[in-house]
Chain A
């Protein structure tokens, strides 16, 4: 069964082996350090055993008056060398290897985030933000096992077993071969057996942990609703169910790993007893000398060190496998929006927008449709907005207004038809160029967990404080911001939670005002504001909007003044 899966296993890990390959030299050096640690451990125990037995025999002979000599200085120096060397090498090895792995993880995280920034909104929506977060954190963390627990240690252990075989074989070839056999069997069990034993549970575990985390974040975000509706207890039960499932798997895995650990101790010691038994027979037959007979089982005992880390790594093999599978899933996601090979540039000044026979059918886009969008499609929509025109795009919620805006900003791509901005097909313009020329206030504008100033400066990184105050003035927030104890440096909570809904929205609008777009799309810019504030802001906004193409998205035209034209959408069609 294992062999039939080998091909897929290799395919799953191939991309990650490639990433490891980029740091090959560090990895080989790290493995070499591991091997040196094991050699030092074997050397210390084997040499000590040999030395004591040799001295005992020599001592007895001297006491019996038989002329006998033993070089005690070289073995003594050897013992000290191995003793000190082992500690030093081990420290260097662990520091070096962990640094390597953390470097790899930083590479992986940035790479994964880059892949995510290229995805379009529909693909992003297939997973919760907290699930995406886990791809970046827990999944990538799980991959650190790949080198540190799954590749280097079994390789080093195998070399050590071979080394023991050779060492014993130097004195008695038969013993070398025979003792290697149970050690190899043990190695095989620890690598393949433990992996298979823990596979299902450890594979599930990472997904269950993910769900537990999701439920926790969910509960924290919805605490107000859950408490008010008095349904916290039922949500708690769901969380407790996930926890129980997780802990059952953890219990199972804990016991499997304990089994592996116990087997290492038992297997190695029994192999040592076997070496002693065979050595004793060879000694009785006069084939080897006493000190060598003692050295052999002690050298085998030191194998504990080489095998000790295998049960931990391989019992949890499934976790690493599952993480790699899920990360591979992201890499293979379709829906990445990329720059054209050779790009046109958009003209300066106000930009026109033309939609040519656009159809947008969310559900039929060939996604692995875990989440199918509910929003109705745009159905053969054609419209043309002149440069400098002010247009209101009206329609009920879900009529497709936001889809038009997303198409213009190329956050999504249509199944059919062409989006033309400033006379250029949006697909022929670089994303950077396109988006620097479009100012789009989305319906759910996100603020970041950062200072007020940093949130505003997303619109223009170079803007000085005076300009920030200007735009805050336009959205009628300057007076409020001046009252804040920390002014522009006030920390804005998650999604702007420390601001009121209307304030957060106005900060998002102010952010757009810092940029210099030729086409401005404002999705319900005054929602959540009282009429007086809305009209005040609209008035102050007017000079900034002059010389730009403006599209308002709204469900009715009550708050909008001074538009040149009104376009109505109903269920994805122009009215």
Chain B
């Protein structure tokens, strides 16, 4: 999706091309506003000069005054348009980038992201994408204006008095130089700060999630200290960034102020006739005042740019993290022709050939493994915990790809999936069920709930399926949460069903009920693969394979007969 040599800067530039029209519109309106400012200042200076030097009465200047008011109003309108165009550009580009990221993360899948905190990823999707706003809405248009507007003013001043123009010109190149120096530092610090923010969010979420554990281990006071330390560390990091950002605008303002002061004094002395050099003796109150009024405007676009400079630094910091995510290589896809051919010929048949999966922190967890599962078969996977049962299910679900060997699964159809830790979200029971089938009506939900053995419970609830749950199913016991996740399996029509310890916290009665429901799935001709320790589930299986340290040690046909002893 993203070439490996792409820099955050290049990526941002590329994104800007998608909103070029809006950006140009912003620059155009900014130029109009700039021209109107020059006209406005000229009119002011001219009016003052007529009044004081020519003794014209104020009533005779009614027309210029009205013109002045008109120019001011037009300028305000142009400014509004310029800012609004920037806002729109920022919105569109962010929306686009978020969609691209979500596509990429979905394609990567959960196992490849398991080293990332999901709050951190959620933060990247929200905060880091939002942090790009200023770059497109403000910085990029201003970057053009910061070149064009000072040039425009310089030409006007040059026409009025070339010496004054020279003063402005001399101070101007220093400014980008300083800004670049300061900006480079700010960029690096900004990146660090983004890391700090992500870390801070992860730290907080972790502590909030485990607050019961912290309470039980008497760790709350120490964790409050840790939270304060983390927050204060964040302050110190932020201040380092801010100090540099402020320093850059201070330097800029200092040069601008000095230049204005020099111009003011030069004009004053020129008007007094103290300077007999160059064009100074041609200065009039009109030209002098006009130049003085334009001097701050000469620096204003650059000052604005420096204010938006932290937008750029923030965007680059964010882009750095986002590009890293986008650069994570996607799992290699089997060529599409091969996949469809497989599916056509063999239905939902599954075949692994010498498949190996390893994780950086844990080493090889599975394989080499050969396995064929026929459509409609029920396979139980047993073995001590940590021997790769879950990884095998992830592999069969297509959530990981083998590092070596081949895996053939039908990728096109949905798979019914149930994790050891049931994924429950805050929301009603019905919303939790519909995560598996968004269009299911209440009747289908009830049917699924009945099959999962949850019906009795739901009937006692006044709000039934609309009863809301806390995060991770608080309010439900572990077994109830598991059955809710199981109900999703029944709700789905998927031909392949992958279950990871589906009856782990169930009592014998409920387990029997669930096993009975699972038998229905087998009768429907679905393929079931279950990782389990429970004899009731082995008995249901056509075949049991035993895993030890990621390898099959004991494949057994008709598992039920042999398990008995």
Contacts and interface: CB of A to CB of B under 8 A. Distances in A.
A91 B250 contact: yes
A414 interface: no
Task: Name, among B205, B254, B260, B460, the residue most crowded by chain A CB atoms within 10 Å (CB to CB).
Answer: B205
Interface string B455-485: 0010011010001111110111111101100
A110 B231 contact: yes
B87 A250 contact: yes
B224 interface: yes
B256 to A, nearest CB: 8
Interface stretch (B1-9, B50-58, B147-155): B50-58
Nearest to B40: A269
Nearest to A252: B87
Contacts of A459: 217
Contacts of A556: 507-508
Interface string A452-476: 0000001100000000000000000
A396 to B, nearest CB: 4
A228 B79 contact: no
Task: Name, among A79, A103, A293, the residue most crowded by chain B CB atoms within 10 Å (CB to CB).
Answer: A79
Contacts of B492: 229
A374 B258 contact: no
B110 A223 contact: yes
Contact of B217 (A225, A458, A530): A458
28 contacts: A44-B261, A52-B288, A79-B264, A79-B265, A105-B235, A110-B228, A117-B211, A124-B212, A128-B470, A136-B204, A217-B118, A225-B419, A226-B106, A227-B398, A228-B414, A230-B494, A251-B87, A255-B84, A280-B61, A371-B470, A395-B507, A396-B510, A440-B216, A446-B210, A493-B117, A500-B385, A527-B504, A555-B507
A334 interface: no
A409 B115 CA distance: 33
Interface class of chain B by DSSP:
helix
B423 A449 contact: no
B510 A86 contact: no
Given A90-B253, A502-B386, A44 B260 contact: yes
Nearest to A78: B261
Interface in A69-105: 70, 72, 75-76, 79-80, 82-84, 86-88, 90-91, 94-95, 98-99, 102-103, 105
B88 A530 contact: no
Interface string A119-136: 101001111111011001
Interface stretch (B315-323, B434-442, B444-452): B434-442
A497 interface: yes
B553 interface: no
B28 interface: no
Contact of B125 (A99, A216, A265): A216
A372 B76 contact: no
Contacts of A125: 470-471, 474-475
Contacts of B215: 117, 409, 411, 431, 435
Interface string A408-446: 010100000000000000000001100110101011111
A232 interface: yes
Interface in B278-302: 284-285, 288-289, 292, 296
Interface string B480-499: 10110000100010100010
Interface string A344-380: 0000000000000000001000000011111110000
A450 B230 CA distance: 15
Nearest to A232: B106
Given A95-B243, A528-B420, A529-B533, A227 B399 contact: yes
Interface stretch (A13-21, A159-167, A192-200, A484-492): A484-492
Contact of A87 (B68, B257, B494): B257
A109 B361 contact: no
Contact of B257 (A84, A235, A444): A84
Given A62-B272, A83-B260, A130-B122, A371 B468 contact: yes
A59 B435 contact: no
A228 B397 contact: yes
Contacts of A511: 217
B559 to A, nearest CB: 15
B173 interface: no
B102 A219 contact: yes
A72 to B, nearest CB: 7
A484 B360 CA distance: 11
Contacts of B362: 484, 498
- By Cβ-Cβ distance, the 9 closest A-B pairs, closest first, are A397-B479, A502-B385, A254-B87, A555-B507, A217-B122, A125-B470, A230-B414, A228-B417, A258-B83
B342 interface: no
Interface string A200-229: 000000000100111011111111111111
A147 interface: no
A497 B488 CA distance: 22
B100 interface: no
Contacts of B475: 125, 362, 371-375
B13 interface: no
A159 to B, nearest CB: 22
Given A98-B242, A459-B217, A532-B384, A117 B40 contact: no
A530 B533 contact: yes
A155 B211 CA distance: 42
Contacts of B417: 224-225, 228-229
A114 B47 CA distance: 65
Nearest to B246: A94
B416 interface: yes
Interface residues of B, number: 169
A224 B79 CA distance: 48
Contacts of B88: 251, 254
Given A110-B228, A231-B435, A83 B479 contact: no
B247 interface: yes
B477 A99 contact: no
Contacts of A229: 414-417, 435-437, 488, 492, 494
B268 A51 contact: yes
B233 to A, nearest CB: 9
Contact of A235 (B239, B435, B461, B480): B435
Interface in A377-398: 395-398
B77 interface: yes
Nearest to A109: B231
Interface string B63-84: 0010011001101110110011
Interface in B201-249: 201-220, 223-225, 227-228, 231-232, 234-235, 238-239, 242-243, 246-247
Interface in A250-303: 250-251, 254-255, 257-259, 261-263, 265-266, 269-270, 273, 276-277, 280-281, 283-284, 290, 293-294, 297
A280 B72 contact: no
Interface in B346-384: 359, 361-363, 382-384
A255 to B, nearest CB: 5
B470 A126 contact: yes
A447 to B, nearest CB: 8
Contacts of B119: 130, 133, 217, 494
Contacts of B238: 98, 102
Task: Name, among A60, A95, A284, A530, the residue most crowded by chain B CB atoms within 10 Å (CB to CB).
Answer: A530
A151 B39 CA distance: 36
Nearest to A527: B504
Contacts of A490: 361
Given A397-B506, A446-B210, A528-B420, A227 B109 contact: yes
B519 to A, nearest CB: 21
A325 interface: no
Contact of B416 (A223, A228, A293): A228
Contact of B285 (A52, A88, A91, A263): A52
Nearest to B438: A234
Contacts of A232: 106
Contacts of A57: 52-53, 285
A110 B389 CA distance: 42
Interface in A516-575: 524, 527-533, 555-556, 558
